[in-house]
């Protein structure tokens, strides 16, 4: 799109004015067309100083998660090299599945600034205000047995933990698919698959991260179990940097899985940053509850628990949830 070509020129000369003549010559377009492209960029939230004598100067960029804004923070080979961006949609996973069915390539990332029908495991809904969170789904086409797919949730969780850690943010994994800070949920992961008996057509891991939400953005009934990076750190965070960093961490962990058949690195990260291991927990399945102590993560990502009678069990994610004895975790 031509207006992004204009943006690229302005970013290249961030501290200076770029004349309309130069833009016209570089892009082979008329001065009238340039004016229209500048208007489109301004409508997208870019602050651009215009001068009839000097030309155009980029003052600031909006906090949006387009490829043009994220690419400077990406160093992946294929994850996120194509980004499809939406202002607001029902769910990034729903759109990603439709695109995957139509043949969208491996590694494409679907991003929304807001969701109107965000979903979690077991049909739970996910609060989705615009521009304050990160909602993204990745289209993956791994050549693995469908039974291996639940491992991808652990890979995403590990990538988020490592990405946040690089940004000096400490978080924990609440098995199997939540990231928590101070015992409250800051991120949820939903992994969905299309496959046959021995073949995976595609996998869609979708993630929602509460980034710059304030306390008043949450419904009162979930304030004791949900939080945001801003609430926990006291700082407004750069969503572009966070997402780019997480995708950078995800790719090598995912490649370990598809190339070597192991998620050893991801399991080690999730184990060392577990919110459950070493704690007594409630195991909730089909409205039934039982108590046990979380003791370890298995190599396939299952949670190993020990009951009062000394027996052990490996929990497999699916219809099982865990909670702390008297709080979320």
Residue 128 and residue 17 in one domain:
no
Q: Mark whether 303 and 318 lie in a shared domain.
A: yes
Domain contains 329 = no
Q: Are residues 302 and 250 in the same domain?
A: no
If one counts the domains in the chain, the total is 3
User: Do 296 and 193 belong to one domain?
Assistant: no
Range of the domain at 23: 2-60
| pLDDT of 218 over the 60 cut | yes
CATH number of the domain enclosing 105: 3.30.930.10
Query: If DSSP states are collapsed to H, E and C, what string results for the chain?
Result: CHHHHHHHHHHHCCCCCECHHHHHHHHCCCHHHHHHHHHHHHHCCCEEEEECCCEEEEEECCCCCCHHHHHHHCCCCCCCCCEEEEEEECCHHHHHHHHHHCCCCCCCEEEEEEECCCECHHHCECCCCCCCEEEEEECECCCCCHHHCCHHHHHHHHHHHHHHHHCCCCCEEECCCEEEECCEEEEEEEEEEEECCCCEEEEEEEEEEECCCCHHHCCHHHCCCECCHHHHHCCCCCHHHHHHHHHHHHHHHHHHHHHHCCCHHHHHHHHHCECCCCCEEEEEECCEEEEEEEEEECCCCCEEEECCCCCEEEECCCCEEEEECCCCC
pLDDT digits (tens, 9 = 90+) for 21-34: 999 999 999 989 99
Tens digit of pLDDT for each residue in 68-112? 999 999 999 999 999 999 999 989 999 999 999 999 999 999 999
- Asked whether the predicted pLDDT for residue 246 surpasses 90, the reply is yes
Q: Are residues 166 and 290 in the same domain?
A: no
Residues 11 and 120 in one domain: no
CATH number at 43 reads: 1.10.10.10
- Residue finishing a domain among 230, 256, 272: 272
């Amino acid at each position: 799109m031509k207006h992004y070509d204009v943006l690229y020129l302005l970013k290249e000369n961030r501290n200076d004015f770029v004349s309309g003549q130069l833009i016209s010559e570089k892009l082979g377009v008329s001065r009238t067309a340039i004016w229209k492209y500048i208007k489109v960029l301004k409508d997208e939230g870019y602050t651009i100083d215009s001068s009839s004598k000097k030309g155009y100067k980029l003052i600031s960029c909006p906090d949006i998660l387009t490829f043009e804004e994220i690419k400077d923070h990406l160093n992946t080979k294929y994850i996120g090299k194509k980004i499809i961006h939406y202002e607001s949609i029902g769910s990034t996973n729903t759109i990603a599945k439709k695109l995957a069915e139509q043949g969208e390539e491996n590694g494409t990332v679907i991003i929304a600034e807001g969701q109107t029908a965000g979903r979690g495991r077991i049909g739970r809904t996910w609060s989705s205000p615009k521009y304050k969170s990160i909602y993204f789904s990745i289209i993956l086409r791994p050549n693995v047995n469908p039974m291996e797919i639940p491992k991808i949730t652990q890979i995403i969780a590990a990538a988020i933990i490592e990405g946040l850690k690089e940004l000096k943010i400490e978080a924990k994994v609440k098995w199997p698919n939540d990231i928590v800070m101070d015992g409250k949920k800051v991120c949820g992961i939903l992994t969905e698959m299309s496959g046959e008996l021995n073949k995976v057509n595609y996998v869609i891991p979708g993630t929602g991260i509460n980034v710059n939400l304030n306390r008043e953005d949450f419904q009162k009934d979930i304030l004791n179990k949900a939080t945001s990076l801003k609430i926990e750190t006291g700082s407004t965070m750069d969503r572009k940097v966070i997402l780019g960093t997480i995708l950078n961490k995800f790719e090598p962990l995912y490649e370990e899985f598809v190339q070597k058949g192991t998620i050893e690195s991801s399991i080690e990260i999730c184990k060392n940053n577990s919110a459950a291991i070493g704690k007594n927990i409630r195991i909730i399945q089909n409205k039934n509850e039982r108590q046990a102590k979380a003791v370890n993560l298995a190599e396939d990502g299952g949670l190993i628990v020990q009951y009062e009678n000394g027996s052990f069990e490996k929990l497999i994610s699916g219809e099982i949830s865990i909670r702390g004895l008297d709080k979320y975790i």
